[in-house]
Amino acid sequence: GAVVSQHPSRVICKSGTSVKIECRSLDFQATTMFWYRQFPKQSLMLMATSNEGSKATYEQGVEKDKFLINHASLTLSTLTVTSAHPEDSSFYICSARGVSGTVRDFDGYTFGSGTRLTVV
């Protein structure tokens, strides 16, 4: 089945530094990548949507200059949390949607395994 590899799974960084999270689709072409954030006991909240080769679309309230998204190829999307602060500590997870016509279009979306970010 479709697999999305997300790295790192866990990262601890100092306040003010930047952290890059990668999501790679291993056996399909991810035309669209969704990036979510989940705080404890809360739902996954969509941060942004990226399509290969174009600028990401950010949800209301998400700072595009703080959360940089790059989707340069059909198999790789990255999220960079710039100048991280403790309030950015969260579980970040990507979800890929494949090329039109694949079963994943309608049966769900392929999620990465998530990145737990702790900013100290």
Q: In 14-107, at which residue ranges do the beta strands (DSSP E only) sit?
A: 19-25, 30-38, 45-51, 57-58, 67-73, 76-81, 90-98
In the complex with other proteins, the residue whose CB is nearer, 38 or 70, is 38
CA pair distance 20, 55, nearest whole angstrom: 17
In the complex with other proteins, the residue whose CB is nearer, 37 or 81, is 37
Instruction: Establish if 112 lies at the interface with other proteins (CB under 8 A).
Output: yes
Instruction: Establish if 34 lies at the interface with other proteins (CB under 8 A).
Output: yes
In the complex with other proteins, the residue whose CB is nearer, 45 or 68, is 45
SS3 104: helix
Nearest-approach distance from CB 100 to other proteins, in angstroms: 11
Instruction: Establish if 42 lies at the interface with other proteins (CB under 8 A).
Output: yes
Contact 61, 50 (CB under 8 A): no
Contacts of other proteins in 65-94 (CB under 8 A): 91, 93
Q: What are phi and psi of 18, to 5 degrees?
A: -110, 150
* Element of type H or E holding 107: helix 104-107
Binding site for other proteins (CB under 8 A): 6, 32, 34, 36, 38, 41-46, 49, 91, 93, 95, 97, 105-109, 111-114, 116
